[in-house]
């Protein structure tokens, strides 16, 4: 009797899990499927679960005859630069917050919290007006600066939690042995928190890679467009070519998934530190 109830329980457990897996993967499967469907089959077999013939023609076109390689390059530059800058400055700031008590610490924390509480979309208009005269619209540098500021507070909170997990005595011992604080930070603390810093970089990279609204507002020329902007303008220009769009979509998915694998272990920490941000 009990074993019957138990196997009923596990059967429904696995059934529910399977439903979740299907729900999670189906939209991604469909993206790949349409990207692989040749144009002549797209309309006749558009709704079929798998086309009778697949081809890489859409990927070929997107990679050789479109501006997507340029958009891809722009996005890689912006996301990598943002991740690098934010990792450096938020590691420094997180370290300062975890190791020192100083006047103004409360104010700094409050300012960082404020930046997490108001909707960023509020900044779209003033940001454009302030950056345009400085030549930072239609420029990748402008986007890097904006994204670095957006991600720095959340990354700082994350880094602070990593540093606080490391006992102060470690660096104090090194400082007694004659190392400067910065020397102790560089030689002892940094190696220990390197995985955490890499995870922070991964989070920031993903956020910068996905950002759409500010990229749309600030960079209208295709020379400085990031991937999301390029894909969206492609959609409004040639709304018929689904295969090519989805091929481009699959390409946009690749770096994001790679970084997801990298930061998967740190998801819980990252999500709680950035609960306001996502």
Q: Sign of the CA dihedral 158, 160, 163, 167? A: negative
Among 64, 122, 177, 191, binds other proteins (CB under 8 A): 122
Residue 186 interacts with other proteins (CB under 8 A)?
no
Q: Residue 10 has which token pair?
A: 């596990």
Helix, strand, coil percentages for the chain (3-state, nearest 5): 80, 0, 20
Cα–Cα distance, 83 to 158 (Å, whole number): 14
Residue 209 interacts with other proteins (CB under 8 A)?
yes
Residue 210 interacts with other proteins (CB under 8 A)?
yes
Q: Which of 88, 84, 256, 79 is nearest to 156 (CA)?
A: 88
Query: Binding string, 2-21, against other proteins, x = CB under 8 A?
Result: -------xx--xx-xx--xx
Range 64-103, binding other proteins (CB under 8 A): 89-90, 92-93, 95-97, 99-100, 102
Residue 129 interacts with other proteins (CB under 8 A)?
yes
Closest CB 102 distance from other proteins, rounded Å = 4
Closer residue to other proteins in complex, CB, 63/262: 262
Closer residue to other proteins in complex, CB, 194/254: 254
Contacts of 208 (CB under 8 A, 6+ apart): 78, 79, 82, 83, 147, 151
Range 230-269, binding other proteins (CB under 8 A): 231-232, 235, 242, 245-246, 249, 252-253, 256-257, 259-261, 264, 267-268
User: 25: burial class by Cβ within 10 Å (0-12, 13-18, 19+)?
Assistant: exposed
Residue 212 interacts with other proteins (CB under 8 A)?
yes
């Amino acid at each position: 009797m009990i074993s019957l109830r138990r196997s009923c329980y596990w059967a429904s457990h696995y059934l529910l899990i399977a439903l979740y897996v299907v729900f999670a993967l189906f939209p991604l499967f469909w993206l790949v499927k349409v990207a692989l469907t040749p144009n002549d089959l797209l309309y006749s077999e558009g709704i079929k679960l798998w086309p009778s013939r697949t081809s890489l023609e859409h990927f070929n076109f997107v990679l050789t005859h479109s501006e997507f390689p340029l958009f891809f390059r722009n996005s890689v530059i912006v996301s990598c630069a943002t991740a690098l800058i934010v990792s450096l400055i938020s590691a420094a700031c997180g370290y300062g917050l975890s190791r020192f008590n100083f006047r103004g610490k409360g104010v700094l924390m409050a300012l960082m919290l404020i930046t997490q509480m108001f909707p960023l979309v509020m900044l779209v208009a003033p940001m454009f007006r302030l950056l345009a005269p400085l030549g930072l619209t239609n420029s990748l540098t402008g986007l890097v600066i904006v994204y670095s500021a957006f991600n720095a507070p959340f990354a700082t909170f994350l880094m602070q939690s990593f540093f606080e997990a490391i006992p102060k005595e470690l660096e104090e011992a090194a400082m007694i042995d004659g190392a400067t604080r910065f020397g102790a930070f560089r030689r002892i603390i940094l190696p220990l928190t390197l995985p955490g810093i890499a995870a922070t970089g991964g989070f920031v990279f993903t956020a910068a890679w996905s950002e759409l609204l500010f990229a749309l507002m600030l960079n209208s020329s295709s020379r400085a467009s990031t991937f999301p902007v390029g894909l969206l303008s492609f959609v409004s220009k040639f709304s018929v070519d689904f295969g090519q769009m989805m091929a481009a979509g699959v390409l946009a998915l690749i770096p994001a998934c790679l970084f997801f694998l990298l930061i998967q272990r740190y998801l819980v920490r990252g999500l709680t530190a950035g609960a306001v941000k996502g």
